[in-house]
Amino acid sequence: MMEFDNSTILFAFSLTLFAGLSTGIGSAIALMAKRTNIKFLTISLGFSAGVMIYVSFVEILQKARTVLIADMGEVAGNWMAVGAFFGGILLIALIDKFIPNVENPHEIKRVEDMDDEQKKKRKLNRVGMFTALAIAIHNFPEGLATFTAALTDPGLGVAIAVAIAIHNIPEGIAVSVPIYFATGNRKKAFWLSFSSGLAEPVGAIVGFLILMPFLSPMVFGLLFALVAGIMVFISLDELLPAAEEYGEHHLSIYGLVAGMAVMAISLLLFI
């Protein structure tokens, strides 16, 4: 079983808390701004996707392969890494599959869409009731990803936390808009959206406590490959399509490339 000191665990938890509570930034944008800053959100979403895709393939999946090959041998280790990677994709795909779009916090809404939503108050009441549950389900694997990475590599944990925090900003917008029009209360919409981000650190801690008795190099290798798959799926299925919805195709690609470049440089600095 692998052991970690208290300072490492506290640091990993703090990063996860930071990433999760960034939904409050998106909520504030939705409730205070008159219009969505389309260019900023497009570039941010693309940047976040670039960071997550690059670090998943170049760093996380490679670390998983190295650990699993050392523990199980070259053939079995490679097969396990690949299997866990696609298992992560399957896990997050199933989560998205079984949460209806109307309650899915990754379905992006604009601030200016509030007027249109007001016509659907009955539907939004249901949305408001299920939003917290939907976020908890979606954010659990993201919190586990940040927490697991930070435990073994603090620099990698910071990079993942920042990428997830960026992608949680439009998620906060998507949550606060329907809650506001379901309740008519801006403060309640903000605090529910802000508090919903707690699902991420709570999920990380619960996952860690469940896995702690079984933590070993092989388990960490499997977790890393699983996390890589989850992050690639989130990037391709949620972040890039969301950026495209804002109608700024080239900005999303520029953000994607910039995210990859920043991640590549930051990894090189730690060599």
Q: Per-residue confidence at 69, pLDDT binned at 50, 70, 90? A: very high
pLDDT by residue (tens digit) across 56-68?
A: 898 889 988 998 9
Residue 3 DSSP code: -
Token pair recorded at residue 197: 């981000």
Residue holding tokens 């079995």? 76
Residue 76 has pLDDT above 90, yes or no: yes
Rounded average pLDDT over 143-163: 80
Q: Give the separation between CA 28 and CA 17, rounded to whole angstroms.
A: 18
What is the pLDDT of the chain when averaged over all its residues?
Answer: 76
pLDDT by residue (tens digit) across 226-271?
A: 888 988 888 888 778 877 766 567 888 888 898 899 878 877 775 5
Q: Give the separation between CA 133 and CA 67, rounded to whole angstroms.
A: 35
Q: Per-residue confidence at 50, pLDDT binned at 50, 70, 90? A: confident
Q: Give the separation between CA 113 and CA 215, rounded to whole angstroms.
A: 46
Residue 79 has pLDDT above 80, yes or no: yes
Most confident of 39-53, 78-92, 191-205, 220-234: 78-92
Q: What is the pLDDT of residue 265?
A: 84
Residue 15's nearest CA partner among 148, 109, 128 is 148
Rounded to the nearest 5°, which phi and psi values hold at 54? Answer: -65, -50
pTM of structure: 0.67
CB 146 within 8 A of CB 204: yes
One-letter amino acid of 238: E
Q: Per-residue confidence at 103, pLDDT binned at 50, 70, 90? A: very low
For the chain, helix (H) and strand (E) counts, in that order, are 13, 0
Residue 80 has pLDDT above 90, yes or no: yes
